[in-house]
Amino acid sequence: MPSVPKAVEELSPEEAEIELARLAEEIAAADIAYHQKDAPEITDAEYDALRIRNAEIEKRFPDLVRPDSPTGSIGAPPAEGFAKVRHAVPMLSLAKAYTDQDVIDFIERGRRFFERDKDLDIAFTAEPKIDGLSASLRYEKGVFVQGATRGDGTVGEDITANLKTIADIPHRLKGSGWPETIEIRGEVYMTYAEFEALKERSAATGGQDYVNPRNTAAGSLRQKDPSVTASRNLKFFAYAWGYTTEDPAPTQYESVRKIADWGFKVSPLMVRARSVEELIAQYRQIEAQRSSLGYDIDGVVYKVDRIDLQRRWGFISGEPRWAIAHKFPAEQATTTVRRIDIQVGRTGTLAPVARLDPVTVGGVTVENVTLHNEDYIAGFDSNGQPIREGHDIRIGDTVVIQRAGDVIPQIVSVVIDKRPADALPYAFPHTCPVCGSPATREMNEKTGKEDSRRRCTGELVCPAQAVEGLRHFVSRGAMDIEGLGAENIDLFFNAGLIRTAADIFTLKDRRPEARRVLAERREEQARQREAVSGKERKNVRSADQRNFEGLDKLFAAIDARREPELDRFIFALGIRHVGETTAAVLAKTFSTVEEFVRVGKETAAAEDPMAVFPSVNGIGGTVIEALRNFFGNTRNDDVLDALLAQVRPKPYVVTVSADSAVAGKTVVFTGSLEKMTRSEAKAMAERLGAKVAGSVSAKTDIVVAGPGAGSKLATAQSLGVEVITEDEWFERVRGA
C-alpha cells in the first residue's frame, strides 16, 4: 500500500532533493500538456498542490533549489513550428482562490500592505475568467502589427496571421486617444454553438472528434493555414494590456472601458466593488449565469482597481500580488460503474478505464473515466495519498463524478451505502491483455518505492507499443533512418507493411504496396488542400513518379543503416531505462551484439541477476531489472532474431588518447551544454582518457559547467575543484 508523502518539515535533505526532482518533472509535464499540447492531464487542484509543495520544500531547503525549478515559471516553452516572440512585459499567471476565505485573505493582505494610507479607499474589479487561450496583440499607431500566444510567459509563438482572421480583433483601433504603442491582452475562445457545429461538420466527413471548446480553440489558433483558423469562427475578449507607452486610464475598470471604445469586445459582467461582500456577490451572480453564457468560464478574477496601487503592491514568484482568480467548484453527477477495461498505451502502460452509465456533467455526456492505475482504484492518488475517503472502486459501484477543470472526467467519491453485496475488489491484471506478456511494476532505486504504473514487458511484440517503438527505432538518436519519420511509420504500419523493426529492412520486397499507399496518401492530401483553398490542382509531375523517386531514396537510406553502431542499435531497441548514455556504456562493456544478447539472456535466466551481470559503473539495479524483463520475455526472441538477420551492428571500439591534456582526469559535466549533447561529451572525454563521473567530490579534477549549473557547481566551488566553461573545455582538448 502506498505511503503518504512525508510532511515537508520531516524531510531529510536527501529526501527533499529527490522530491524536488519529481515535482519539477511532473509540473513540467503538466505545463506542456496544458499550454503546448492543449490536452490537460491533471486537475487544476492537483496542479496547484504540486506547485505549493514544491514552493514549501524550496523554502525549507533553499540550497536545493534546482536550475529547472518550477517556481516563477509560467506555462510551457513555445511549440515548434512558429516564430518566437519575446514579450516586452511578461504574461503572468494568477494566484488561485478556491474558497470565500481565500478571497477574504487576499483582501486583508491588501489592506495590511496599504495600512499606512489611513484614508485609502481600495476598490477592486471582478470579471469572468474566460477558459480559452491567452493572446497578446501589439498595436503601433493604432495598427495591429503582431500577435502572440502566452508560451512560457516570457516567449510566445507568433500567430499574427491566425489572429487577424478573428472578427473580434480590429486590424486598426477605433476612436482616438490610444497610445503610440500598446499590447492588448485577452482570451481567444470558442462558443458552445460553434463547437457543436464544428463537431457535426467533422463527423459528417469522417474527421476527428473534438474534446472541448478550450482545446479546440487553442488547436484552431495554432493552425499552419490561417484559412482553417478563419473557418472556426473564434471569439476574443480583451481584459488587460502589457507593454504600453502610456496607461489607457488611471484605473483597471476605466482602462477596460477605454479598450472597448477602441473596438474590442470586453466582458459585460465586469464590475467595480469596494468590499469582500460585493466581490463574492458578483462571483455568485456570475456562477449562476455560467451555464447560459454560451462559452466556458472557470472562475472570477479580482484585481486592485487603481493602476498606481497595482504597481506599488507588485509581484511575487511570477504572479501579481494585486490579482487573484476565484475558481468555480467542478459540476458533479452520480452514475454507476458497469465494467473496468484495461487499455495498453504506446509505452506499455496498463491504463484502467471505467465504463459508466451515461450521465451529463457540465453540458457534456460522460460514459468513460480514467482510473489511472491500480493504486488509484484501491483508493490512492498518484502521490500515494488516500482519496475518496479510502474507498476502492468496484464494478457495480455508484460513484460521484466531475469534470476536473471542466475538462477531464474523474471519480470524486464512491457512494458506499449503495455498493452491491456481491461487488468484489478489482483484481488488476499482471499480464498484458493485448500480447500476453508479463506486466510488471518497477522499483525506484532512489525512493525505494514501487512505481504506481504497471507496464507490459513485450517491447518488441506488443501491438499496442508497436508504433511508438518503431518511431523510436528510426529516430535520430537511434538508427537515424532518413525519410522514415513518424508520419511514414504510421502510414506503413496502418497499411500492414511494417509491423516490427525487421520489416523495415524488408520493405523493399513490398515495393508495389508501398507505392500504392504513398499514392493514396498524396491523393488524399491534395483533395484536402483543394477543399480548403477552393482551387483546383494544377498540372504537376505525376504522384506515381514522385512516389517512385521517394521510395528509391527511402530504400537507400534503409540500406545505409544495415551496419549501425552498436550503441545506436542497443538504444534503438527501446528497452526501458536504456537511454543513449546507458546504451553507450553497455556497448562499451560488451563490445559485440552477440555478447550483449548472451549476457542479457543469462541475466534473465539467473535467480540472482546481480550476481551474473558484470559490475559496471553507471549501470544499477533499475537497468539490470529492465534488461532482465526484456530478455526474459521469450516473445521478444523471434523479433530480435529476425532483426539481427537483417542488420549487423558494428563492434564497439574505444580508441583512448593517453597523451591528451585530460588523460587520467576525473571530469563532471553539469548545466546545459550548448555545443554537444551530454552523451557526446561523455564519449569525447573517455576517448581522451578521462573518467566521467556523475557527482562532484574531492576526487574530481575538472567540472565543465554550462548555463543553469546548480548544486554540482556550488559543490565544486566549495571544494576548490577547477571549473571551466564548455568553450574552455574545447580549447583544452584541441588537437587531441
Q: Which residues are catalytic?
A: 129
User: Phi/psi at 292 (nearest 5 deg)?
Assistant: -105, 0
- Which amino acid is present at 2? P
* Residue (of 371, 368, 369) closest to 392 by Cα position: 371
- What the block records as the C-alpha cell of 524 is 488524399
**Cα–Cα dist 665/725, whole Å:** 16
**Cα–Cα dist 74/290, whole Å:** 27
78-101: burial string, b at 16+ Cβ within 10 Å, e else:
bbeebeebebeebbbbbbbbbeee
Position of cell 555545443? 675
- What the block records as the C-alpha cell of 451 is 512505481
User: Helix, strand, coil % (nearest 5) of the chain?
Assistant: 40, 20, 40
Torsion angle of C-alpha atoms 160, 164, 165, 170, degrees rounded to 10: 150
DSSP H helices, 248-327, are 252-261, 276-289, 307-313
* Sheet containing strand 95-97, strands side by side: 95-97, 323-327, 297-304, 124-130, 271-273
Torsion angle of C-alpha atoms 616, 621, 627, 632, degrees rounded to 10: 130
**Cα–Cα dist 323/306, whole Å:** 12
* Sheet containing strand 181-189, strands side by side: 143-149, 133-140, 181-189, 235-244
